[in-house]
Amino acid sequence: MKKIFVIFLSIITISSAIFLGGCGILNSRSEREEMIQIAEGKKAQRAIEELLRQEDSKALTEEGIIKEYSINEDELDYNPMGGLIVELIINGDPELTIKTTLMEESEEKLEHTGYVISGELAKKLRGE
């Protein structure tokens, strides 16, 4: 009887662990999808393009150093102090990056609150 009780408790414990682990994976996946949706949304696009034009007045044109950007979805993360950390890959070159935090200032606007430019991109922007 004691042996059956121990086996029963073991099965319940293992089943609970598998269930909770599965719920955690689903939650993580939906959180990642939410981050991607925010980062690729219109509000984020406005904030990102404002940041790029702040660094390169001709950004996103043929004359500019920054011709295009993409969002590195693998590097999206929530900042514990608030906001979404986004890494931008510039001109398709993984050596040229800008990492910024986007925060919601109002319902219709996201703002970049700080950013870090990779060394290679900084050299290009300075004309070196």
Q: How far apart are CA 99 and CA 117, in angstroms?
A: 7
Please give the span between the terminal C-alpha atoms of the chain, in angstroms, as a whole number.
80
Domain 28-126, second-level architecture: Roll (3.10)
For position 18, what pLDDT does the model report?
66
pLDDT surpassing 70 at residue 16: no
pLDDT band at 128 (very low <50, low <70, confident <90, very high): confident
Write down the pTM of the prediction: 0.76
For position 30, what pLDDT does the model report?
80
Q: How far apart are CA 79 and CA 95, in angstroms?
A: 23
pLDDT in tens, 29-77: 688 888 899 999 999 999 999 999 999 999 999 999 999 999 999 999 9
* Mean pLDDT, the chain, integer: 87
pLDDT surpassing 70 at residue 28: no
Q: How far apart are CA 16 and CA 93, in angstroms?
A: 45
Question: What are the boundaries of each domain within the chain?
Answer: 28-126
CA-based nearest residue to 35, from 82, 86, 98: 86
